[in-house]
Amino acid sequence: MLPENDKLVSVERSKRRPGEFILSFDETFINGLEDSELSASIAHELGHVWIFTHHPYLQTELLANQVALRVVSRENLERVYEKVWKDKGKGDLNRVSRQKETGGGTEIGNPTQISAQNHGWSDQ
């Protein structure tokens, strides 16, 4: 846990211990999560770890969410995204869903597909 993490939640390779990863949470953000949302956040970031170890040059939010959805519900992931977007000033899922209906913006398919540039929930 960090006093501040601009990405709110992130994962990166350890510089000191090869083969290990560091998961970092913004202290204020983590304190605002329910247990199910915390689980969804961790599952999403572990999805990135899976990608790092299996496809190191392929980093997508969609793939991280596909991995996360093996262990958490879509609803829990969506609630976390809503909190991330609210905190980062990036809007809400209703706005993005309307963009999908009109053919613009990011698609919230099944599983959730979110561009890393659209939120701070990225490890890159």
Strands (E) located in the chain: 9-13, 21-25
Q: What is the mean pLDDT of the chain?
A: 75
pLDDT greater than 50 at residue 113: no
pLDDT, tens digit (0-9, with 9 covering 90-100), for 67-96: 999 999 999 999 998 888 887 754 444 443
Q: Is 12 exposed, middle or buried (0-12, 13-18, 19+ CB in 10 A)?
A: middle
pLDDT confidence tier of residue 99, bands split at 50, 70 and 90 = very low
Is the pTM higher than 0.75? no
**Closest residue by Cα to residue 97 from 7, 85, 87, 88:** 85
pLDDT, tens digit (0-9, with 9 covering 90-100), for 4-63: 888 889 999 999 998 899 999 999 999 999 999 999 999 999 999 999 888 877 778 888
How many residues are given for the chain?
Answer: 124
